[in-house]
Amino acid sequence: MLLTFAALLGLILALIRPLQRNPFFVLHFGLVIALAYITENYFFKVTPFVYKTFLLFIPYHLFSINLVTFIAYGIDKRAAKRGDWRVPEIRLHTLELLGGWPSAYLAQKFFHHKTKKKSYQSMFWLILAFQIILCYCILNYLRIIH
């Protein structure tokens, strides 16, 4: 069942201490659980630990992490304008690393935020390059591409 995968996400949250202090990851965690619960109880029953169930979990994760990343950038931009407490850059980079880089890129353009800070942009593009290389290696290992 999808809640099993949500439980695995919860285990990751419990084991990786910095994620516990990241309220955006906790929001992401809650969204994924809600999506899994709705799908499982209102649309169809799924079997745990099967390939198709895992494939259903991936879009839930990507939707949620990108939504939360966009929200985090908006909150940080608003705080910057007001002179309030800012979202630490490590939290934004963590969200990007977890798969939220597409919405991070869009949020940078939409909010005109973090676009001129060279150290931030360097890390952003490094994360993106890492993910592209990782995807290439996985697809190559699975013999999907050669």
Residue-number span of the structural domain to which 67 is assigned? 2-114
Contact 31, 64 (CB under 8 A): yes
Residue 126 lies in a domain: no
- Confidence at 111, pLDDT banded by 50, 70, 90: very high
Q: Is residue 135 part of a domain?
A: no
Domain-located, residue 48: yes
Does residue 129 lie in a domain region?
no
Domain total for the chain? 1
**Angle, CA of 81, 93 and 71, to the nearest 5°:** 50
- Tens of pLDDT, residues 68-96: 999 999 999 999 999 898 999 988 998 99
> Comparing C-alpha atoms, which of 140, 80, 133 is closest to residue 107?
80
